[in-house]
């Protein structure tokens, strides 16, 4: 192995308006290694890699590829320099075939047919070499995210990339798919490719990287050999203070049943059945975690319970059956029943991004008596004062009610939603993806708040695609696959492997299964939507 770094960045700086996303960053990535870059959301990881891929232009600094200074003004220059990138949000054309996506931008000539034929041949070779089999004629929108990601990797390899950048590649994958991805990456590394892995998951860094660089607030704070460090040390470097990686909680003491769901069935707008007979219950004083790959019906479950999707079946709150189909079955009626909802997508369903924090805090509770000045007028001052108090109690920074929601970081936005819902003292809290796009420091706080609500004897239904979160926060875990509950487990009597199998629609008790079977199952589930 040579001593010349495959990539060397020297003094890279980049500002977006007043925000300094990257501050004088220097990094050396050695060839034939997997180099992790870890940092919280907004630490500047993705910006740095987008600069390397020519998607953004750096304000200052130089890029050296294999020892040679290289200007990368656009993505074509990056491709020419042998850099391939797998973005967090895939850059695929949904209604094109795999083949068309791979060929796009790298065609051989003005006619399409010869390029497609050549790509077809090359894809089958790459599939053999790196366990990257994908049907070249499949349309992207019918593929599961795991397969879509393979297409992105194939795109890079087809363009003869020697350096592969992956931005948060496992966010959308099941544990089994993630393991498969890491096997692929190790295979690529053995072929001499250089891989940069951007992630906020400490476990992945520890598992697969050789070297790890830590970023915080736009600066590179450390670069260490992975074998010389620990998750605790990395977390401290990321956040700048000691953090608790495990949720601190006592065993649950469940009381009476708060939520009972029996045989819930839902069809989506296209008439596809998304919930196929769900039954579950949540007691006061316990957290039921729903695990599953995104898109297996968890969202629909939350929407039905939250009151904005019609369904068939029975739902009872504290023993009273609630109306699931009537004209008055809406979010307002659910709130009246003591159901609070922290939706999965806070930017679309939880907040109005252009509205002030205090306006957002009033949403859904705007009829609350303390917010009324008279029958027709709202008491804005009261709302603002109330918001101020909520922001302080929930450590929202900065605690300014008149700031627009979009001006808060992801973690602080989530705290605003959480404060609004939790402080209404609900019987049942529905909470979807509570820490998606939230910093480690804020994750700790949010988890503490959820556990505190549980300790007051409230029922909590938690939906998350982060298996770590499900395992550490839940008192009981139900796994959803393809609109059904695959099984329930106690967190201390199961492991990621078993849950991962259930998430892929396979009951491990039924005997051994192949990775191929798992992949097929996931694809079948994705194709159904």
Partner 1 sequence: MDLVTLLQILDSSVRLATPLLFACLAGLFSERAGIFDIGLEGKMLAAAFFSAAVAALTANVWIGALAGIGASLVLSAIHGLASITFRGNQLISGVAINFLAAGLTVLIAQDWFSQGGRTPSLSEFGPNARFTEITLPFADAARDSGPVGLIYSELISGHSILVYVGLLTVPLTWFILFRTRFGLRLRAVGENPAAVDTAGVSVVGLRYAAVAICGILCGLAGAYLATGLQAGFVKDMSSGRGYIALAALIFAKWRPWYALYACLLFGFLQALSLRQDAVERLTQIDVPGQLLDALPYILTVVILAGFVGKAIPPRAGGEPYVKER
Interface positions, 6-35, toward partner 1 (CB under 8 A): 16
d(CA 74, CA 410): 29
Name which of 313, 350, 352 is nearest 331 in CA terms.
Answer: 350
Indicate the residue among 92 and 418 with the shorter CB distance to partner 1: 92
Q: Residue 33 — φ and ψ, nearest 5°?
A: -125, 165
Cβ neighbour number for residue 373 with a 10 Å cutoff:
11
Q: How far is the CB of 104 from partner 1 (least distance, A)?
A: 5
Q: How far is the CB of 96 from partner 1 (least distance, A)?
A: 7
105 binds partner 1 (CB under 8 A): yes
d(CA 386, CA 380): 10
96 binds partner 1 (CB under 8 A): yes
- Figure out which of the listed residues 37, 58, 87, 148 binds partner 1, where binding follows CB under 8 A: 87
For residue 2, give every residue at least 6 positions away whose Cβ sits within 8 Å of its Cβ, in sequence order, or none: 31
Q: How far is the CB of 22 from partner 1 (least distance, A)?
A: 13
Indicate the residue among 84 and 432 with the shorter CB distance to partner 1: 84
Interface positions, 264-283, toward partner 1 (CB under 8 A): none
Q: How far is the CB of 101 from partner 1 (least distance, A)?
A: 7
**Contact criterion met (CB below 8 Å) for 243 and 237:** no
d(CA 61, CA 21): 14
Q: How far is the CB of 215 from partner 1 (least distance, A)?
A: 17
- Figure out which of the listed residues 44, 48, 58, 115 binds partner 1, where binding follows CB under 8 A: 115
111 binds partner 1 (CB under 8 A): yes
Q: ω before 398 within 30° of 0 (cis)? A: yes
- Figure out which of the listed residues 101, 211, 298, 464 binds partner 1, where binding follows CB under 8 A: 101
**Contact criterion met (CB below 8 Å) for 207 and 186:** no
For residue 179, give every residue at least 6 positions away whose Cβ sits within 8 Å of its Cβ, in sequence order, or none: none
Instruction: Report in angstroms the alpha-carbon separations of 342 from 56, 302, 507.
Output: 34, 9, 31
Q: Which stretch binds partner 1 (CB under 8 A): 88-96, 312-320, 447-455, 507-515?
A: 88-96
Name which of 342, 296, 332 is nearest 172 in CA terms.
Answer: 296
- Figure out which of the listed residues 1, 3, 73, 109 binds partner 1, where binding follows CB under 8 A: 109
Q: Which stretch binds partner 1 (CB under 8 A): 53-61, 192-200, 249-257, 504-512?
A: 53-61
Q: Residue 442 — φ and ψ, nearest 5°?
A: -75, -30
Interface positions, 368-387, toward partner 1 (CB under 8 A): none
Instruction: Report in angstroms the alpha-carbon separations of 48 from 37, 85, 155, 240.
Output: 10, 12, 21, 20
Indicate the residue among 159 and 249 with the shorter CB distance to partner 1: 159
- Figure out which of the listed residues 113, 227, 246, 327 binds partner 1, where binding follows CB under 8 A: 113
Helix (H), strand (E) at residue 222: strand 219-225
127 binds partner 1 (CB under 8 A): no
53 binds partner 1 (CB under 8 A): yes
Q: How far is the CB of 34 from partner 1 (least distance, A)?
A: 22
55 binds partner 1 (CB under 8 A): yes
Indicate the residue among 51 and 282 with the shorter CB distance to partner 1: 51
Sign of CA dihedral 344, 93, 100, 170: negative
Q: How far is the CB of 168 from partner 1 (least distance, A)?
A: 14
Q: Which stretch binds partner 1 (CB under 8 A): 75-83, 318-326, 436-444, 461-469?
A: 75-83
- Figure out which of the listed residues 67, 69, 112, 363 binds partner 1, where binding follows CB under 8 A: 112
Instruction: Report in angstroms the alpha-carbon separations of 298 from 220, 332, 334.
Output: 38, 21, 18
List beta partners, residue 321: 316
182 binds partner 1 (CB under 8 A): no
Give the DSSP letter string of 225-237.
Answer: EGGG--HHHHHHH
Q: Would you give the binding string for partner 1 spanning residues 138-177, x where CB under 8 A is met?
A: -----------------x----------------------
Indicate the residue among 98 and 259 with the shorter CB distance to partner 1: 98
- Figure out which of the listed residues 106, 244, 256, 368 binds partner 1, where binding follows CB under 8 A: 106
Taking the CA atoms of residue 209, residue 212, residue 217 and residue 218 in that order, the dihedral angle to the nearest 10 degrees is -100
Using CB under 8 A, list all residues that contact partner 1. Answer: 16, 53, 55-56, 74-79, 85, 87, 89, 91-96, 100-101, 103-107, 109-113, 115, 155
């Amino acid at each position: 192995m040579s001593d010349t770094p495959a990539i060397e960045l020297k003094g890279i700086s980049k500002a977006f308006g007043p925000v300094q996303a990257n501050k004088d960053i220097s990094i050396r990535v050695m060839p034939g290694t997997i180099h992790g870059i870890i940092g919280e959301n907004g630490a500047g990881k993705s910006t740095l890699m987008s600069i390397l891929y020519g998607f953004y232009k750096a304000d200052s600094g130089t890029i050296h590829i294999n020892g040679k200074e290289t200007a990368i003004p656009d993505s074509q220059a990056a491709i020419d320099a042998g850099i391939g990138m797998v973005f967090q949000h895939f850059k695929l054309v949904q209604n094109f075939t795999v083949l068309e996506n791979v060929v796009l931008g790298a065609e051989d000539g003005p006619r399409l047919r010869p390029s497609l034929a050549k790509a077809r041949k090359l894809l089958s070779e790459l599939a053999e070499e790196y366990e990257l089999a994908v049907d070249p004629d499949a349309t992207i929108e019918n593929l599961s995210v795991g397969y879509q990601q393979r297409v992105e990797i194939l795109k890079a390899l087809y363009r003869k990339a020697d350096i592969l950048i992956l931005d948060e590649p496992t966010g959308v994958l099941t544990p089994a798919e993630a393991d498969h991805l890491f096997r692929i990456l190790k295979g690529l590394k053995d072929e001499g490719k250089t891989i940069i892995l951007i992630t906020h998951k400490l476990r992945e860094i520890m598992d697969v990287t050789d070297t790890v660089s830590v970023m915080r607030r736009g600066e590179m704070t450390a670069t260490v050999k992975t074998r010389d460090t620990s998750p605790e040390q990395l977390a401290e470097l990321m956040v700048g203070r000691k953090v608790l990686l495990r949720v601190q909680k006592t065993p649950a003491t469940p009381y009476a049943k708060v939520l009972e769901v029996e045989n819930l069935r839902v069809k989506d707008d296209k008439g596809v059945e998304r919930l196929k007979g769900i039954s579950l219950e949540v007691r006061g004083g316990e957290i039921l975690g729903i695990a599953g790959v995104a898109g297996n019906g968890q969202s629909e479950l939350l929407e039905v319970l939250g009151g904005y999707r019609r369904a068939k079946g029975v739902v009872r709150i504290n023993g009273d059956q609630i109306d699931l189909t009537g004209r008055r079955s809406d979010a307002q009626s659910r709130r009246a029943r003591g159901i609070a909802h922290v939706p999965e997508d806070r930017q679309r369903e939880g907040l109005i991004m252009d509205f002030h924090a205090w306006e957002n805090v009033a949403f859904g509770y705007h009829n609350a008596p303390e917010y009324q000045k008279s029958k027709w007028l709202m008491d804005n001052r009261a709302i603002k004062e109330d918001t101020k108090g909520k922001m302080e109690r929930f450590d929202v920074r900065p605690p300014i009610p008149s700031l627009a929601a979009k001006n808060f970081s992801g973690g602080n936005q989530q705290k605003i939603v959480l404060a609004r819902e939790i402080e209404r003292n609900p019987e049942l809290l529905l909470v979807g993806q509570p820490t998606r796009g939230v910093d480690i420091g804020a994750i700790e706080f949010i988890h503490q708040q959820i556990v505190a609500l549980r300790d007051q004897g409230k029922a909590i239904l938690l939906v998350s695609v982060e298996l770590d979160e499900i395992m550490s926060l839940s008192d009981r875990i139900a796994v959803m696959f393809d609109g059904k509950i695959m099984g329930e487990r106690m967190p201390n009597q199961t492991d990621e492997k078993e849950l991962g199998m259930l998430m892929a629609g396979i009951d491990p008790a039924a005997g051994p299964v192949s990775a191929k079977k798992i992949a097929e199952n996931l694809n079948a589930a994705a194709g159904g939507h």
